[in-house]
Amino acid sequence: MIRALALLLALALPAAGQEAIISGLSQNRVSITADFDGSEILIYGAVKRDAPPPVGAPLEVIITVEGPATPVAVRRKARVAGIWVNNASVTVDSAPSFYAVATTGPLRQILSDTDNLRYAITIERMIRAIGIAAEADKAGEFILALQRVRTDEGRYRILEGKVELTEDTLFRTDIMLPANLTEGEYKVRLFLLRDKRVVASQERLIGVRKEGLERFIFNLAQEQPLVYGLLSLALAALAGWGASAVFRLIRV
């Protein structure tokens, strides 16, 4: 028993010369309310060592924040007889609703293609689109269009040089979550790299949940769609009547 406990303790500690991550979040829960306009998350940490840091390759840090992934239909429009219509579409198997990558330096200079493939760090590696080549010509353009649209919306972000690293030990970055968040668990991943290779990693979670009136409306739409639809019609009719009454008063 004593030997088994000693073995488990040895496995839990970094090996000689190895580096590990100790990290924290300014908040691990985000509430979406009626007046929610985004939230800023501070991600910070330190490098734990049981020996002096390796000499040579400098330490680099990459931090990613990933929102819930869902299938996405991407359509391409073309002008036909003066009218814009959809002329092709593909279905992306899985794309994160939000994805941010913050680094201490340019991604191409601090991350190898091999470790990018292994850990799926860049936005391109997080989008899974199997078999789309058979759905449309130039299928790769649909993936680029999806990235461009979500980048313009603030849902995909590459924040090179935005991780502050102090004395090769302490690091921090701020990630702004937009107002159009998807409810669910957001995965935070932290990577330490040397010589373009990942030497340590850690994962944490942030819970994003609708609260108050937003939660009531969401539950009503999901659990009682008929009641939700009738209530929406009633509110629309009431709003129309109110606008008409105000207009008549103004004219008088």
**CATH number, domain with residue 147:** 2.60.40.3880
Give the distance, in angstroms, between the CA of residue 124 and the centroid of all CA atoms in the same chain: 13
Same domain for 228 and 189, yes or no, is no
Query: Tokens 């239909």 appear where?
Result: 73
Q: Which candidate, 114, 138, 81, 135, places its Cα nearest to that of 198?
A: 114
Domain assignment present for 117: yes
Name, in order, each residue with C-beta under 8 angstroms of 242's C-beta and a sequence gap of 6 or more: none
Same domain for 107 and 224, yes or no, is no
Instruction: Please report, in tens digits, the pLDDT of each residue of the chain (252 residues total).
Output: 435 434 444 444 444 458 999 999 999 999 887 777 888 999 999 999 988 888 888 999 999 999 999 998 888 776 666 666 666 778 888 999 999 999 999 999 999 999 999 999 999 999 987 777 677 777 778 888 889 999 999 999 999 999 999 999 999 999 999 888 888 999 999 999 999 999 999 999 999 987 655 555 555 455 566 655 666 676 677 666 666 666 666 665
Domain assignment present for 1: no
Type of residue numbered 55: V
| Distance in angstroms (rounded) separating the CA atoms of residues 93 and 72 | 7
Same domain for 195 and 155, yes or no, is yes
In the prediction, which pLDDT does 194 show?
95
Same domain for 205 and 216, yes or no, is no
Same domain for 90 and 126, yes or no, is yes
Same domain for 100 and 224, yes or no, is no
Query: Tokens 């609703």 appear where?
Result: 97
pTM assigned to the model: 0.75
Cβ-count burial 83-95 (b if 16+ within 10 Å, e if not): eeeeebebebeeb
Rounded to 5°, the CA angle 137-140-141 comes to 85
| Domain tally, the chain | 2
Backbone angles phi, psi at 216, to 5 degrees: -60, -45
Structural domain span for residue 94: 12-210
Query: Tokens 């391109």 appear where?
Result: 124
Residue 83, beta-bridge partner list: 80
Same domain for 222 and 120, yes or no, is no
Domain assignment present for 6: no
Q: Which candidate, 169, 247, 179, 244, places its Cα nearest to that of 208?
A: 179
Same domain for 200 and 216, yes or no, is no
Question: Contact at 8 Å (CB) between 111 and 119?
Answer: no
Type of residue numbered 165: L
Domain assignment present for 252: yes
| Distance in angstroms (rounded) separating the CA atoms of residues 177 and 65 | 9
Residue 211, beta-bridge partner list: none
Same domain for 35 and 157, yes or no, is yes
In the prediction, which pLDDT does 89 show?
78
